[in-house]
Chain A
Amino acid sequence: MSKVLILAEHDKGALKKVTLNTLAFARQYVAKFGGSYDFAVLGHNVGAVATALQGFGAGAVHVADHADLAHPIASAWGKVLADLAKSIGADVVVGPASTTGKDVLPRTAVRLGAGMASDIIALTDSGAFARPMWAGNLTGNVKISTANKVISVRASAFDAAEATGGSSPIQAVAADPALAGSRVKFVSFDGVQSSRPDLAEAAIIVAGGRGLKDRFGAVTEPLADVLGAAIGASRAAVDDGFAPNDYQIGQTGKVVAPQLYFAIAISGAVQHLAGMKNSKVIVAINKNADEPIFKVADYGLVADAFVAVPELTAQIKALRG
């Protein structure tokens, strides 16, 4: 029997969907090994997040609400999460493999004497954790040999869990993060302003590469607008300053698996494919027919993006009236 503690991800008081993808993994884990799961909500003024999680079948929703937890400072969050796991007897701590999860969870693992498996995409029949390695060219099945286990979950590999009704009790956690976080000071956050869906949650993604140059926005935005899509980018487009870092998809950026992915002027390097090759339908638009992106695309169009994408945008707009 296991007790799984799930670290909830949220942004400015709103629950993020990756929490529910992570929950889907936790349910599989509990179905296989027996036990139950609880949520941990860390932050400041996060009451609404806790309430939003009450209908998902958890034993409890634990809330550590503290001014010193307002930003996810890893030393402070890692400690509070580990202390909570100890106090409720959780032997498994899971969270999304977001930048927050990647930052915080290893610290929790050390405090629990737990081994940690990163970025897992499946629970195998034999109970191993499957995780992509070598930019997803191989999948490693790993076992954790410690009694306590910490796992970060690749959200795109699990469909978001559904609500089950009911109302899990909310329990306040008396957290004192001050000491653990005292040698770190939050200075600022320079956020990407966008009214578009989050890359991790979008059904359609329009991604652009270096080939779009300084017309990156002019080409991708109108198409994203007609489709209600999120915008993504290759590393090269970000490196060259055409798109913000938050847009990067790939081995070292975000990993996505939308229903529909447009790769526009992206060559298809292995590191980019690592972040998008599990998309349901892939469209490649590139002027060079020999690029590797066409090897993974369901539909390829060999064309100049500066001509083809505005045309595509206009035709879809016409269709949608």
Chain B
Amino acid sequence: MKILVSAKRVSDPNAKLAIAKDGKWIEGDVEYILNPFCENAIEAALQIAEANDGTETVAIGIGDDETARFIRQGALARGIDRGILVSAEEETIDSDLIARIYAGVVHRESPDIVLLGKQAIDGDSNQVGQLLAEYLGWPQATFASKIEVADGKAIVTREVDGGLETLEVTLPAVITADLRLNEPRFASLAGIMKAKKKPFDELEIDDLDLDDTGTKVQVVGLTTPSGRKAGVIVKDVEELVQKLRSEARAI
């Protein structure tokens, strides 16, 4: 079996964000981390590989040279077998083009499972996995909190509104990871050393024979939403009830 798994970098959620001069993205000099949902996807890929002898795992990141560091340290150092960087300027890609790039890589690699995060915590679109599944004509199981693979099928429990849904998908399939899927492991020192020697390919978008490399959605500007102001601290429950009643008229 072969599993393709994502390694996308995102700005650190605790970083102070500043809007770039062109107004279309954030200033680039912030700390970056591996997208937390990709960590869950990588952990899931490793667990499936550990349970199924002969499984190859491949991490893919789309972005500039900096992205390579996240593929190596975030994925290969944890145990993923090899890495692929598809070079792209992150300003010029949207979810749809990312999905088409993934589809191009899938056609070269023929994996049985593509495991992505359910969302990227910068763009927060929650689209790429679903778009990819449709481009490939594959089944999907999104927002996974449990995955069992056996006999060419995956049984996936999904976190959905109202509870937990379980689906059985016939492989090949796209699965997107939710945060409760697993506890991502840390890279060991040995893992970090090994990662340096693992196979690593760099591809250009042009290598993938896509029919179209344009985007469909463009960010035209960013704004800062108006914040809330802190209100008052009440001294006890009685004052809280009185304020909620006569001031806020909320109860």
Residue positions of A touching B, CB distance < 8 A: 11, 71, 73-75, 78, 98-100, 102-107, 109-111, 114-119, 128, 130-146, 181, 183-192, 200, 204, 227, 235, 238-239, 244-246, 251-252, 254, 259-260, 270-271, 277, 280-283, 289, 294-303, 308, 311-312, 315-316, 319
Q: In the complex the two chains form, is B217's CB within 8 Å of A192's CB?
A: no
Which of B164, B178, B217 has the most A CB atoms < 10 Å from its CB?
Answer: B217
Collect the chain B residues with CB atoms within 8 Å of residue A303's CB.
236-237
Q: B241 touching A315 by the CB < 8 A rule? A: yes
A190 touches B11 (CB 8 A): no
Beyond A103-B160, A115-B216, A192-B162, 15 additional pairs, beta carbon < 8 A: A74-B142, A103-B130, A103-B143, A106-B131, A109-B96, A114-B216, A128-B221, A139-B224, A184-B170, A252-B119, A254-B161, A300-B231, A301-B237, A302-B233, A316-B241
- Determine whether the beta carbon of A141 is less than 8 Å from that of B220: yes
Report A-chain residues with C-beta under 8 Å of the C-beta of B232. 298-300
For residue B110, CB closer than 8 A to chain A, the reply is no
The CA-CA distance from A184 to B173 in the complex, in Å, is: 10
| 8 Å CB contact of A245 from B17, B127, B142, B145 | B145
Q: Interface residues, chain B, CB within 8 Å of chain A? A: 11, 13-14, 17, 19, 26, 94-96, 99, 118-119, 121-127, 130-131, 133-135, 138-143, 145, 155, 158-170, 173, 178-180, 215-225, 228, 230-234, 236-238, 240-241, 243-245, 248, 250-251
Inter-subunit contact A134/B124 (CB<8 Å): yes
A192 to B160, CA, bound (A): 11
Contact residues in A for B167 (Cβ distance below 8 Å) = 73, 184-187
Structural contact, B133 and A260, CB atoms closer than 8 A: no
- Report yes or no: B126 in contact with A102, Cβ–Cβ below 8 A: yes
B240 close to A301 (CB less than 8 A):
yes
Bound-state Cα–Cα, A117 to B219, Å:
10
The distance in angstroms between the C-alpha atoms of A296 and B231, with both chains bound, is 7
Residues in A whose Cβ lies below 8 Å from that of B225:
132, 136-139
Our pick among B95, B139, B179, B231 for the contact of A297 (Cβ within 8 Å) is B231
Q: Which residue of B lies closest to A73 (CB)?
A: B167
Bound-state Cα–Cα, A141 to B122, Å: 14
A-side contacts of B11, CB under 8 Å? 134
Residues of A within 8 Å of B126, CB to CB, are: 102, 118-119
Residues of chain B within 8 A (CB-CB) of A74 are 130, 133, 140, 142
- How far is A105 from B131 in the complex, measured between Cα atoms in Å? 9
Residue of B with least CB distance to A181: B139
Q: CB distance A187 to B166 under 8 Å?
A: yes
Task: Check A190/B96 contact, CB under 8 A, given A118-B126, A139-B224, A315-B241.
Answer: no
A113–B118 Cα distance when bound, in Å, is 22
Structural contact, B233 and A289, CB atoms closer than 8 A: yes
Cβ B240 vs Cβ A137 within 8 A:
no
Tell whether, in the assembled complex, residue A138 and residue B163 are in contact, meaning their CB atoms are under 8 Å apart.
no
Q: Which chain A residues lie closer than 8 Å to B140 at the CB level?
A: 74-75, 103, 107, 184
**Chain B, Cβ-Cβ closest to A113:** B216
Given A227-B251, A271-B13, A315-B241: A140 touches B222 (CB 8 Å cut-off): yes
Chain B hits for A109, CB < 8 A: 96, 131, 134
- Report chain A residues within 8 Å CB of B99: 110
In the complex, the chain B residue whose C-beta lies closest to that of A79 is: B134
Which of B121, B130, B168, B243 lies in contact with A106, CB distance below 8 A?
B130
Residue of B nearest to A254 (CB): B161
- The docked-state distance in angstroms from the alpha carbon of A181 to that of B134 is 12
Q: How far is the CA of A23 from the CA of B161 in the complex (A)?
A: 20
Neighbour of B163 across the interface among A73, A185, A200, A244, CB < 8 A: A244
User: Are A134 and B122 touching (Cβ within 8 A)?
Assistant: yes
Rounded to whole Å, the gap between the CB of A178 and the closest CB of chain B is: 13
Check B163–A141 contact: CB distance below 8 A.
Answer: no
Collect the chain A residues with CB atoms within 8 Å of residue B159's CB.
99, 245
9 A-B pairs with C-beta separation under 8 A: A133-B124, A185-B169, A191-B163, A204-B250, A204-B251, A227-B251, A239-B180, A300-B231, A315-B238
Q: Is the Cβ of A190 less than 8 Å from the Cβ of B163?
A: yes
Given A245-B163, A245-B164: A138 and B216 interface contact (C-beta under 8 Å): no
User: Which of B17, B96, B250 gathers the greatest number of chain A CB atoms within 10 Å?
Assistant: B250
What residue of chain A has the Cβ atom nearest to residue B178's Cβ? A252
Q: Name which residue of chain A comes closest to B130, CB basis.
A: A106
- A100→B130 CA distance, assembly (Å): 12
Give chain A residues whose Cβ lies under 8 Å from the Cβ of B162.
11, 189, 191-192, 246
Does the CB pair B161–A299 fall under 8 Å?
no
Contacts of B155 in A (CB 8 A): 187
* CB < 8 Å neighbour of A189 from B26, B124, B164, B250: B164
User: Inside 8 A of B216's CB, which chain A residues have their CB?
Assistant: 114-116, 144-146
